[in-house]
Amino acid sequence: MTDINKVQDEIIDEFEILGDDRESTIFYIMELGNQLGAFPEEEKTEDNIIKGCQSKVWLITTTEDDKVVFHADSNTDITKGLISLLIRVMSGRTPQEIINADLYFIEKIGMGGIIGSQRSNGLAAMIKQMKFYAIAYQSKMNAL
């Protein structure tokens, strides 16, 4: 089992404990959002905004030992919570791992039903952008 899937399974377990109670789930996601690491104010630029999100989401990357590290922020706490889940799964992986990632946890925890269709589109846009960054890093590494 890859690390990505291990983390996904952990998240699935955590959400199972929350059960069907929508209020507790939303409060939990917000709590995760509050714990998201600080994001540099100067990076909150138009260029770093992910298109297709209802809320504002900024996403940037750094690299550590050929691994892609994601940093993100949003103007809404629930979106920050969603970002924190994605970062937990995707950040600190090799570009190939990110490109290959099958993010089954989103469906397993019933995220679509929790956040609604508009936010689901936003979430899909975030994942797409993360994979784009990974592809870009990989091409850069291959070119070296």
Partner 1 sequence: MSLNIQDIRASFPILHQEVNGKPLVYLDNAATTQKPLSVIEALDYYYKTDNSNIHRGAHTLADRATRKYENTRELIQKFIGAKEVEEVIFTKGTTESINLVASSFGRKFVKKGDEVIISTLEHHSNIVPWQLLCEEVGAILKVIPINDKGEIIFEEFEKLLTSKTKLVSIVHVSNALGTINPVEEIIAKAHAVGAKVMLDGAQSSSHLTIDVQKLDCDFFAFSAHKIYGPTGLGVLYGKREVLESMPPYQGGGEMIKEVSFEKTTFNEIPFKFEAGTPNIGDVIAFEKALEFVNTVGKKQIVDHENELLAYATEKLSSIKGFIPYGTADNKVSVLSFLIQGMHPFDVGMMLDAGGIAVRTGHHCTQPLMNRFRIEGTVRASFSVYNTLEEVDRLYESVSKIAKLKNK
> Which of the residues are catalytic?
53
76 touching partner 1, by CB under 8 A: yes
Nearest distance, CB of residue 43 and partner 1, angstroms: 20
Q: What's the DSSP call for residue 80? A: H
For partner 1, the binding residues in 25-44 under the rule CB under 8 A are: 25-27, 30
Among 2, 62, 63, 75, binds partner 1 (CB under 8 A): 75
Q: Which two tokens stand for residue 109?
A: 């925890």
**Nearest Cα residue to 56 out of 72, 38, 33:** 72
Cβ nearer to partner 1, comparing 100 with 113: 113
77 touching partner 1, by CB under 8 A: yes
For 71: left if phi > 0, alpha if psi spans -120 to 50, otherwise beta; the answer is beta
C-beta of residue 144 within 8 angstroms of C-beta of residue 66: no
Q: Residues interacting with partner 1, by CB under 8 A?
A: 20-23, 25-27, 30, 54-55, 75-79, 115-116
